[in-house]
Structure 1
């Protein structure tokens, strides 16, 4: 009997080599659901069960531990929802429990997503003491009109205050999320947002276009005055040039960083690394060296249902083994977002496949001017980065 997702015996395929491992922790509640958001987030109604939820997180982690025995965790990311709704004491309790169960790399990056509208004076020091060493602020814009149209609960002044509070508390590794191509936004407005962000001196900036995702309020009722694709491209080009001038190097489609300050957690995703996903609706991806499989597992989406079942198989929303013929597409979906591209050796180790498995689409992408190949390295061109979806589609299984 064949093993699901395994390469057939007798082939000359390279061995799957487990890549670096990260830990993703989903904290699902927010003050108010934004109309553009398609994440598994739920509006808080009444007091939140912080302590019980952390108990459930640790039980969920215990259940998944056999998938990661002996491996080192290189980054932790608290995503949501709005993780900053959780008190620092509960973040601390979780990190202590997780580090007792898993081997944490020395000095690993620990990121907490934060809504400026939930930041309270004095709490950043406590998050830092708990072990959080990177804050990611969901600012989106410094224009109050744009923020209102996006359904955000903060204004520009609160955003600037929250960033400065975090810096005063000792955080020097900050990311600011900004959107462009917002309803009613011009290129000048997008650049003004960027100038205010740069003035705060963050180590990292995420700068991405507003998209109308399925199953969101904006998809059902699109906002008025959305910039068209030509105007969105104009904004992107102008903002990319300004970011470069300010010393932020683009290293991914929508990520820019000062030297040495790239997000380690997200880099691991884009390099087709592994991650444990715990919490309501969290997704994980694990390379199983013993059976030469790639497993994807996701948890039940609704917080109450997941919490009630945490620590048992009933908390698993689903799982699947990634078939060998599907791995090149998954790998490229991530790796081709990176300016650095990928090495052919990394492809073989992550996918357990020979280079011949991608020879034809790789040759076509090079011929179209979308990718450049230099020895063992494959790098997307500027044209390839602009038409990323078309490049990745070449690697879909036939």
Structure 2
């Protein structure tokens, strides 16, 4: 067996102050489940480590390349929680030097006061959930910060020692014009983050927006927002390397790159997902129980559901991940990460994509997959070809 894929770690913190109407992530309003919103930090910390202990079976001697703390709102937890967490994680796992460790954070004043402690705990990248700078849109989105707090959060994170910052920003918001979307984007660029996650609002099932749909911009407006916004980002040194992510040179999110390149990742915490490759070539996904109370009150062995990826499903799984990235890659990467030879059906699907102009022909002649400009615009149509593989 050749070398196993790189390994990352995902940690899920499921609580938030208030559930946003567009959010379909595994997040739970803190005061609904615990005593007056007081989070059970020590119990959750202990269960995270117990959860990890079960997954250590799959680690072998692989070091952790990157870590990502998502939610919910991870920055709600205390600084002491993260000091203890990373002390214990360093005891259990090997880490590459200067591993990228990202935390999602809200821009509220309460969280800002803890930024310096988060940095000292070992977190070296912040992803700040701004979404918009405009008061009316923030209210519509259910956000509890304002424009001034969003700007201050970036300043505070710099003062705390963070040299790698991502800003989350949404577009295609209810009643949003092209000018409004570009105004948000221009202000985000002025704040000079290393990375910008700029993505369109989608209405997902099991959300308040799904039950009570807002009025979204028309398709022509959405197209113009996307077209003019991406041009603005490129002009300011933020290259699009993934469907909804732009970064300065060599500032791509390493955790995301490993994920989309079909690398492996452990997932611990309520609702966390993982993907693991074994030495025998088996690849499986893990899902941890979602509700925080259920997660806290069960033995670690009962928290996880394992689902093997059938060999016939690997081509679609692999391509759905790799084609989110706009980097070129050799088709031989399939054998490197999926541990199977390239099936005839996958090869034929690639050929068809080339004929349709969704993959670049010159790259294909050299055994390289490169999404064409047409393919980037019609990614769903490109991915559908691999349902046949």
- Class of the TM-score when normalised by the shorter of the 2 chains: over 0.9
Corresponding residue for residue 3 of structure 1: none
Residue in structure 2 matching 1:369, options 357, 362, 365: 357
Q: What's 1:44 paired with? A: 30
Question: What residue is the counterpart of 1:184 in the other structure?
Answer: 175
Counterpart CA distance in 2 for 1:84 and 1:353 is: 41
Superposition pairs for residues 12-91 of structure 1, below 5 Å?
17-45=3-31, 46-91=37-82
**What SS does the corresponding residue of 1:75 show, helix, strand or coil?**
strand
Aligned length: 380
- 2:383 equivalent in structure 1: 392
Change (3 A) 1:392 1:264: same
- Change in 2 beyond 3 A, CA 1:204/1:310: farther
Which of 328, 335, 339 is 1:348 aligned to? Answer: 335
Secondary structure at 1:380 match in 2:
coil
> What does the per-residue CA deviation read over 1:150-195, in whole Å, with 9 as the maximum and x for residues that have no partner?
1111111111111111011111100000000000111111110011
Structure 1 residues 119 and 271: CA distance shift in structure 2, 3 A: farther
Contact conserved, 1:72 with 1:103, CA < 8 A, in 2? yes
Alignment of 1:259-298 (within 5 A): 259-289=249-279, 291-298=280-287
SS of equivalent to 1:365: helix
State the TM-score, normalizing by the size of structure 1. Answer: 0.93
Aligned to 2:84: 93
After superposing on structure 2, the runs of 4+ consecutive aligned residues of structure 1 that deviate more than 3 Å are 118-122
Q: Which runs of 5+ in 2 are unaligned?
A: 32-36
Per the alignment, do residues 239 and 56 of structure 1 end up closer, same or farther by CA in structure 2, a change over 3 Å counting? same
Which of 92, 95, 98 matches 1:104? Answer: 95
Query: Can you give the 5+ residue segments of structure 1 that lack an aligned partner in the other structure?
Result: 1-14
CA-to-aligned-CA distance 1:241-290 (integer Å, 9 cap, x gap): 0000100111001111111110000111110110000000100000112x
Q: 2:293 aligns with which of 293, 299, 304?
A: 304
Q: Is the 8 A contact 2:109 2:149 kept in 1?
A: no
1:57-97 alpha-carbon deviations (Å, 9 max, x no partner): 01100111001121110001000000000112111211111
Equivalent pair of 2:75/2:111 in contact (CA under 8 Å)? no
Note if contact 1:57-1:310 (Cα within 8 Å) is conserved in structure 2.
Answer: no
State the alpha-carbon separation in 2 of the partners of residues 118 and 216 from structure 1: 27
Secondary structure in 1 aligned to 2:120? helix
In structure 1, the residue matched to 2:161 is 170
1:249 matched to 2:239: yes
Aligned Cα RMSD in Å? 1.3
